[in-house]
Amino acid sequence: MKSLIKKNQPKAQASCCAPATDIKVAQCCAKQSKVVAGCHD
């Protein structure tokens, strides 16, 4: 397995022990999908 993840982030195994907020949910994904018109596609 060759990881494609370059940024440091909590491993899934660790996150089950750590506070759930370790999994950061930002808005970039939603924003990435938001365009001025045509988001319906």
Partner 1 sequence: MQLSKHNILTQIHGDDRWLLVNVLSGQADILPANDGARLARGEITDPDALAAKGYLVFADEEARRYRQAYLDFIAARDTDEVQLFYVPSYACNFGCSYCYQDEYAPAPSGDGAAVLDAFFRYVDDTFGDRAKYVTLFGGEPLLPNPSTRRTVESVVRETAARGVDLAIVTNGYWLESYVETLRKGRIREVQVTLDGPQPIHDARRMLKGGGGTFSRVVDGIDACLAAGLPVNLRSVLDRDNVAAFAELAHFAIDRGWTDNPNFKTQIGRNYELHHCQTERSRLYSRLELFQDIQRLIEADPEILRFHKPAFSISRFLFEHGELPPPLFDSCPACKTEWAFDYTGKIYSCTATVGKQDEVLGTFWPERQLNAADVAAWEERDVLAIAQCAGCSSQLACGGGCGSVAKNTCGRIDAADCRPVPSLLSLGTSIYGREALAAS
Q: Does 9 bind partner 1 (CB under 8 A)?
A: yes
Least Cβ distance, residue 21 to partner 1 (angstroms): 7
Least Cβ distance, residue 34 to partner 1 (angstroms): 6
Q: Is 2 exposed, middle or buried (0-12, 13-18, 19+ CB in 10 A)?
A: exposed
Q: Does 18 bind partner 1 (CB under 8 A)?
A: no
Chain positions contacting partner 1, by CB under 8 A: 1-7, 9, 11-13, 15-16, 20-21, 23-41
